[in-house]
Amino acid sequence: MPRTHGHSLVARSSFAAAIDTDRPLHEHAPSRGGPVEAAIGEQIAALIPDGATLQTGIGAIPDAVLERLMNKNDLGVHTEMFSDRMVDLVERGVVNNRCKKVYPGQLVTSFVIGSQRLFDFVDDNPQVIFLPSDITNDTNLLRKLDHLVAVNSALQIDLTGQVCADSLGHRIYSGIGGQMDFIRGAALSVGGLPIIALPSTAARGTVSRIVHELSPGAGVVTTRGHVHWVVTEYGAVNLHGLSLRQRGEALIGIAHPDFRAELRRQFHSVRQISL
């Protein structure tokens, strides 16, 4: 078990019982995305400036973004969690955390998921500090990090910008996580980039993730009032400050081409705009 720095100690008196075990930790191999994830990674990497502070999660899209940051300089990390691809950036000197105003010189996280290589990296590493999520996700703290880039995913987004990230209709798919915290924090950050990233389709290309309205029962994790950048493999648009009509047009422009005509017809029926 890695010994980590930060707020990582738990008093023995807090436990009712403890069991020794020699079972290995559960590992999660780095994701191997396809051309869709690669295209999304390229779009997002192009937005990230030198000196930015990163918040990313786990999965093919965050991994695709991190793989494409090798030519950046002086990046920092303040995130709820990170995985193996972040280690590559640290070892290449791309991530050094020296531009951060909060916890300068240190990589901040609440937990990690990855391979044994990642566990070995964080083990007794003073560069990495583990903090409770009420600190890592505190928007009052996040706003003090200049150029905070928050990359979060979605299951669906409607043509007004409402983001569903936790359910497929009424069926819960995952927890809401820290998406709301980091999207808001990045929006308050000087030069920050709040990003929602998603493939344009699901179910092997048969379903559009950009929809005229969310599925019945779908929960809105991030409101349209908080959404800024939305990225698919077909482009990146900034919805902040746009009218509902402008938002719909922008999102249709980054939807899969097979669904754009139908989305435009549905959009016309709701917004009474000309086709």
Give the separation between CA 244 and CA 247, rounded to whole angstroms. Answer: 5
The residues spanned by each domain of the chain are 24-271
Residue 58's pLDDT band, with cuts at 50, 70 and 90, is confident
For the cut 70, the answer to whether the pLDDT of residue 275 exceeds it is no
The pLDDT of residue 274 is 55
pLDDT in tens, 212-268: 999 999 999 999 999 999 999 999 999 999 999 999 999 999 999 999 999 999 999
Quote the DSSP letter at residue 127.
Answer: T
- 80 labelled catalytic: yes
Residue 125's pLDDT band, with cuts at 50, 70 and 90, is very high
pLDDT in tens, 137-151: 999 999 999 999 999
Residue 30's pLDDT band, with cuts at 50, 70 and 90, is confident
Q: In this structure, are residues 82 and 102 in contact, taking their beta carbons and an 8 Å threshold?
A: no
The pLDDT of residue 273 is 59
Q: Is the pTM of this model over 0.85?
A: yes
Annotated catalytic residue, options 80, 91, 213, 249: 80
Residue 10's pLDDT band, with cuts at 50, 70 and 90, is confident
For residue 265, give both structure tokens: 């017809």
Ordered strands of the 148-153 beta sheet? 76-77, 53-55, 148-153, 193-197, 229-232, 235-238
Pick the CATH number of 24-271 from 3.40.50.740, 3.30.390.50, 3.40.1080.20, 1.10.1660.10: 3.40.1080.20
Give the separation between CA 44 and CA 56, rounded to whole angstroms. Answer: 12
For residue 91, give both structure tokens: 């070892």
Alpha helices in the chain (DSSP H): 35-47, 60-67, 84-91, 116-122, 133-136, 139-142, 179-188, 244-253, 257-271
For residue 205, give both structure tokens: 């290309």
Quote the DSSP letter at residue 16.
Answer: S
Alpha helices in 104-254 (DSSP H): 116-122, 133-136, 139-142, 179-188, 244-253
Least reliable range by pLDDT among 29-33, 125-129, 189-193, 262-266: 29-33
